[in-house]
């Protein structure tokens, strides 16, 4: 038996409120929903985080995302929706089997607060261009 809680959910040894599955992915209600309709989408294969995906595995997972977002939108009529994925404990990952959160948003008091400082950037436009150049060289050469 797997030691990973989400692998156990896929295996059926731990119960879950499943909403969708296909050959490659599984979607279910979060056990501690932040808002009404908080869903998790996971790959059936144990993949710890975003760094470990092949392009094909990522494509299969994200292919299911619009379907899930649209059914949440149609059923619960949220005002908006946040998709969120945490990688690594410092980023807030607590279950080390990749999962994409779908958090339907109703208003500013619905319990979810994705905030970051936008008033004053620590980075000049020149510094941003420098950082982009480093990344571009890695990605496009
Ligand atoms: P993370 O903090 O890793 O991004 O999110 C983990 C999420 O998994 C949390 O929102 C938590 O409520 C959810 N979770 C943890 N254990 C279980 C479980 O056994 N069943 C379900 N359905 N969700 C779980
Ligand atoms: Zn797992």
CATH number (domain holding residue 26) = 3.30.428.10
Give the separation between CA 61 and CA 50, rounded to whole angstroms.
Answer: 11
Ligand 1 centroid to residue 132 C-alpha, Å: 34
pLDDT tens per residue across span 108-123: 899 999 888 777 788 9
Total count of domains within the chain: 1
Whose alpha carbon is nearest atom 21 of ligand 1? 31
Q: Write down the pTM of the prediction.
A: 0.96
Question: Is residue 55 in some structural domain?
Answer: yes
Domain that includes residue 29, residue range:
5-113
Whose alpha carbon is nearest atom 16 of ligand 1? 31
Among 24, 38, 99, 101, the one annotated catalytic = 99
- Give the number of the ligand closest to the Cα of residue 35: 1
> Which one, of 43, 44, 78, lies nearest residue 62 by Cα?
43
Give the separation between CA 104 and CA 23, rounded to whole angstroms.
Answer: 26
- Which one-letter DSSP state was computed for residue 104? E
pLDDT tens per residue across span 85-101: 999 999 999 999 999 99
- Give residue 121's pLDDT: 80
Question: Is residue 125 in some structural domain?
Answer: no
Question: Is residue 126 in some structural domain?
Answer: no
Index of the ligand 1 atom closest to the CA of residue 99:
4
Question: Is residue 119 in some structural domain?
Answer: no
Question: Is residue 61 in some structural domain?
Answer: yes
Task: State the average pLDDT over residues 121-139.
Answer: 95
Question: Is residue 66 in some structural domain?
Answer: yes
Question: Is residue 120 in some structural domain?
Answer: no
Residue 99 annotated in active site? yes
Mean pLDDT of the chain: 96
Ligand 1 centroid to residue 79 C-alpha, Å: 24
Question: Is residue 132 in some structural domain?
Answer: no
Ligand 1 in reach of 93 Cβ (< 6 A):
yes
Higher pLDDT, 131 or 2: 131
Give the separation between CA 28 and CA 42, rounded to whole angstroms.
Answer: 9
For residue 75, is pLDDT > 80?
yes
């Amino acid at each position: 038996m797997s030691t990973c809680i989400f692998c156990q959910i896929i295996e059926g040894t731990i119960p879950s409120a499943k909403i969708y599955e296909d050959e490659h992915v599984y979607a279910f209600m979060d056990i501690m929903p932040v808002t009404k309709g908080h869903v998790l989408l996971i790959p059936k294969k144990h993949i710890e985080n975003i760094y470990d995906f092949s392009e094909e595995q990522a494509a299969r997972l994200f292919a299911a995302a619009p379907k899930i977002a649209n059914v949440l939108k149609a059923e619960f009529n949220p005002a908006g929706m946040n998709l969120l994925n945490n990688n690594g404990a410092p980023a807030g990952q607590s279950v080390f089997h990749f999962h994409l959160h779908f958090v339907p948003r109703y208003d500013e008091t619905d319990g979810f607060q994705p905030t970051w400082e936008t008033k004053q950037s620590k980075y000049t436009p020149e510094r941003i261009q420098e950082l982009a150049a480093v990344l571009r060289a890695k990605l496009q050469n």
